[in-house]
Chain A
Amino acid sequence: MNTTILLFLLQDGITNGAIYALLGLALVLVFAVTRVILIPQGEFVTYGALTYASLAAGRMPGTAKLAVVIGLVAFAFDLYAMRKTLHVPKVARAFALHVAFPVVVLLVSMWAADQRMPAGVSLALSLLIVASIGLSLYRIVFQPLAHTSVLVLLIASVGVHLAMQGLGLLFFGAEGQRGPTLLTATATLGSLRFTGQGMAVYGITIAFIVGLWLFFGLTLYGKALRATAVNRLGARLVGIRTTLSGQIAFLLASTIGALSGILIVPITTLYYDTGFLIGLKGFIAAIIGGLISYPLTAVAALVVGIVEAFSSFYASNFKEVIVFTLLIPVLLLRSLAAPAVEEEKD
C-alpha cells in the first residue's frame, strides 16, 4: 500500500464517518430525550436526499404530500386529545404546526419544482418537508406510547421504518438518484483533492457537534430536555412539557437526518432503501457512545467510517459484514463493564 491510497482511504473514511457522526448524534439526542431508538433515522436520510434530488431535477417529491397527510392525522390526534377542553390558542398552535406548515411547504415546493431554483432553495425545502414529517410522526406514533418501555418504543420504531421505507419506494421508485453538489470549489493539498462538498460535510458536522454540546450543556431548554430523559414524571412536576421536549428532539433528528442525506447524495447514488444501512452505521457509533456520550459517538463514527473505507478497499465483498461485526467487540466491552446493580423497568 502506498501513502496516496492510505491518505485517500482515510479521507474517504472521514467523510463518511462525519455523516455517521451526524446521524449518531441525532440518535443519541432522540434516545436521551424520548427513549426512542430511532430506526427510521435512515429514512429521514433517504427522504432528505431524494426530496432534494427530485426538487433539483424539477420533479415534485411525494414526501411533500406525505407531510400534509400525516400532518392532518397528527392534527386529528391533537383534536381528539383536546376534545374535552378546546382551547383556541392550543388548537391554533396544533393547526399551524401540523397543517399550515406542511401545506405551505407543499405549495412552495410545487411552485419551486417548476422554476428550477438554485440548490440552496431545494435544500431548504427538503429540510422543511422532512422536519415536518418528523414532527407529525412523533405526535402520531411516539407521543401516545411515551409512557411505555424502551422495547415497545423500539418495536414501534421498527414499524415506522417499515412503513416509511415502503413509502420511499412508492415515492422515489427503485432507481437510485444523485443530487447536485452544494459547493463546487475544490482545493488540492499534495496528492489529496478536497472537494467543496467534502468541506461542507466536515464543517456542518463540526458545527452540529459543537452546537448540540453547547445546547445541552448551557441552555435551559437543553437542560430541560436532559431532565425529561432522566425522569419524565419528575420533569413534568417541575413544569417541563415533556411533549415539547419530544417534539424538539424529533424536529432536530429529522432535520439532521435530512441534512446528512443532502450532504451525501451528490457524492454517492442513493436508493430508497440505502438510508437504513447508513442509519445503522450511525447506530454502531451511537452504541459505542453508550447512547449517551456525544463526543464518544463522534469519534466512534469516524472509526466506523475509516474501517468501512479500508474494508471496502481490501475485502469489498465483506465490507458490510466487517462493519456490523465491529459491534460485537463493542458490546462485549460494554457487557464486561456493565454495572453490578442495573435494574430494568417494565
Chain B
Amino acid sequence: MRERWPLIVFAVLVAAVPFIPGVPPFWIVLLDNIGLSALVAMGLVLLTGVGGLTSFGQAAFVGFGAYTTAVLSANYGVSPWLTLPLSLLVSGLAAVLLGLVTVRLSGHYLPLGTLAWGLGLYYLFSKLAFLGRNDGVSGIPPLSIGSLKMLDPGTIYYAIWAAVLIAALLTMNLLDSRTGRAIRALRRGHIAAEAFGVYSPRAKLLVFIYAAVLAGLSGWLYAHFARAVNPTPFGAQAGIEYLFVAVVGGAGYVWGGVLGAAIVVVLKEILQSYLPLLLHGEGQLETIVFGILLVTLLQLAPTGLWPWLTSRLPFKPVAKKPDTSIELPARVRSSSAPNVLLQVDNARKQFGGVVAVNNVSFDVQAREIVALIGPNGAGKSTTFNLITGVLPPTSGNISVLGKAVGNAPPQDVVKLGISRTFQHVKLVPDMTVLENVAIGAHLRGHSGALSSMFRLDRADEAKLLAEAARQIERVGLGDQMHQLAGSLSLGQQRIVEIARALCVDPMLLLLDEPAAGLRHMEKQRLAALLRDLRAGGMSVLLVEHDMGFVMDLADRIVVLDFGTKIAEGTPAAIKTNPEVIKAYLGAAA
C-alpha cells in the first residue's frame, strides 16, 4: 500500500476540514460543490483525457441520476439508498443507448452528438410532466443513516467526499490494469490495439458507461444535497463547464479532475461576486471570463494544471520491476501441426481502380524466415494488412494451418498465433515501454474492468507484466523498461514493437521494416534474435528494404512489384533473377 499513502493523507485532510475551528459554513458548501463537480470531471478524465472521446453531454447523465432519485424518493417515498443503484443504472443504460450509436464513430462526431443530445435531453427534462417540467421536483428527502439525517452541507460533505475518494481509487486501479491499458491505447488510434485482440468499440463503450455512471452518482448526491432539482443544472452550458473543469485540471489525470473542480468552482464564486462590481454589467459575466480562460489555457497549457503541479514535486514515483519468475502459460499448440503455417492464395486487393495486391500467392512454412521485398508501393504493407485482417481482401484466400481465415477481424487473426509490427511505429508514447509491451499479452490475460477496479486482478496482472518484462529483456531493452515509449529513438521503438508482438507467443511473426532506423550493430543483434526465434520454432515473415540484412537472414524471398509477384526463391536465386534486377534498377541495368 506504499504507493497509496498520498491518497490516505488526502482523505484524512478532507475529513478534518469541517473540524478546523473558524471554517465558514459557506466554504463547506463550496467544497460540496467541488466534490460533486469532481465526480463528473473524473469520468470525463477517463473518457476524454485518457480515452480520447470528448463529451459535452455529461450534464445530461447527471440529470438522469438526479431525476431518478428525485422522482422516486420525493414522489413515491422510496428510500434514497434504494434509489442509488437505480440512479446509476438509469445513467448507465442511457450511456449504453447513446454509446452504441456513437462510439464507433471517431473524432468529432461524438462531441457534436453529445452536444446535440445534451440539448435534446435538457428540453426533454423541462417538458415532461412527471419530471415537473421547468419547475422540477422538490421536497426530496435528505440522505440518512439511522437517525442521522444529512440535512446540512456539513454532514452530506462526508457522503460526497467519500464518493469522490472511492471513485478516484477505483478509477486509478482501473487505469493500472489490462483493461486500463486497452483504454489508454484508444487515443492513439485503434489499429495497433486491435492487432493484439483489444475490441476498441467495446473499450470505448466501457469508458463511456463508466463516465456516465460517475455523472449519475454525482446527480444522485446533488439531488439529496440540494433537495430539489430543476432542468437548469443539466443543460448544455453545464455540460460544457464539466469539460472545462477537466481541461483546466488536466484531462489526462484522475486528480486533475478534482483540481479542476476546485479551481473552477472557486473561480466561479469569485467571478460571480466581484465581476458585476467591476464591469457594472448584467448577467453571465463569468461565462465571458471562462471562455477566454479556456482558450488561453489551451494555447499555453493544453495538458492542464495537474501535470504542471506534479512536475514540481521533489519526489518521483519509483517504478517497481516486475518479478519475471512468474510464468505465463504458453499458447496451446496442436502437436500435429502441418508444415505450411500460412498460405496466401491469389490474394487481391483493389482500392477503387488501383490494384494494390494483384493475385499474389505464397506460403510460409514452419521454422522459416520469409522476406517480402519490392520497391516502394509494391503492395508489401497491404499484403500484411490482408493477412492480419486489417483490410478484407477483394478476392482470394488466406489460410492459417490449413483453415481459411475469411474476413476475420484483426482480433481473431491474432488468436490464431499471428502477431505483427507496423511500418509506422504504433506505440502509445505516454505509456512506459513495459505497459506498451504488456498490451501484446492482452489476450493471455482474462481480468475484466470490475475485477481490476477492486484489485482482484493482481495475480493475472503480475503474470502479464512478467511476460512483458521477459520479452523486453529478450530484445535487449531491459534498461529502458520504465521509460516512456515516446522518449526512445525510432529504432528502439521498432524493437519495442517486436517485444510487444512476441508477448502474443506467436507461431508466425510479421515484421514490417524492422531494421529501418537501426544502426549496424543493432541490425546484427536483430538478425541474431530472429535466428534465435526460428531455432525456437517460430516463423517470421518480414518486409525489409535493407538487402544485406534480408539476403543474410531469409530462407526464402518473395518479390513484389506493382502488386504482382515477380519472383520467389532462395536469396542466391533472387540476387541473379533478371526480373528482380529490372524492377529494382530499371530496364537499362
Contacts and interface: CB of A to CB of B under 8 A. Distances in A.
Does B bind A?
yes
Interface of A: 37, 39, 140-141, 144-145, 148, 150-152, 154-156, 158-167, 169-170, 173-174, 276-277, 280, 283-284, 287, 291, 317-318, 320-321, 323-325, 327-328, 331-332, 334-336, 338, 340-346
A167 B284 CA distance: 9
Interface string B97-130: 0100110111111011101110110011001000
A155 B112 contact: no
Given A166-B291, A341-B390, A344-B52, A150 B281 contact: no
A334 B103 CA distance: 11
A156 B247 CA distance: 11
Contact of A343 (B191, B279, B287): B191
A321 B292 CA distance: 30
Nearest to A272: B283
A18 to B, nearest CB: 21
Say which size band chain B's interface belongs to: 35 or more
A324 B299 CA distance: 32
Interface string B275-295: 000010111111111111111
B393 to A, nearest CB: 12
A190 B212 CA distance: 53
Given A150-B107, A344-B52, A159 B295 contact: yes
B interface, over-half SS:
helix
B406 interface: no
Contacts of A162: 240, 287-288, 290-291, 294
B395 to A, nearest CB: 17
A320 B231 CA distance: 15
A158 B127 contact: no
Contacts of B384: none
16 contacts: A37-B112, A151-B48, A158-B56, A159-B295, A162-B290, A169-B282, A287-B112, A324-B116, A327-B112, A328-B101, A328-B113, A331-B105, A331-B113, A338-B105, A341-B391, A344-B107
B101 A166 contact: no
Interface stretch (B24-32, B182-190, B525-533): B182-190
Nearest to B290: A162
B291 A164 contact: yes
A321 B288 contact: no
Q: Which 6 A-B pairs have the closest CB atoms?
A: A163-B291, A159-B294, A324-B120, A162-B291, A166-B288, A166-B287
Given A155-B247, A162-B294, A284-B116, A167 B191 contact: no
Classify the secondary structure of A's interface with B.
Answer: helix
Interface in B287-309: 287-295, 298-299, 302
B419 interface: no
Contacts of B106: 338, 342, 344
B282 A160 contact: no
Contacts of A327: 112-113, 116-117, 120
Nearest to B56: A158
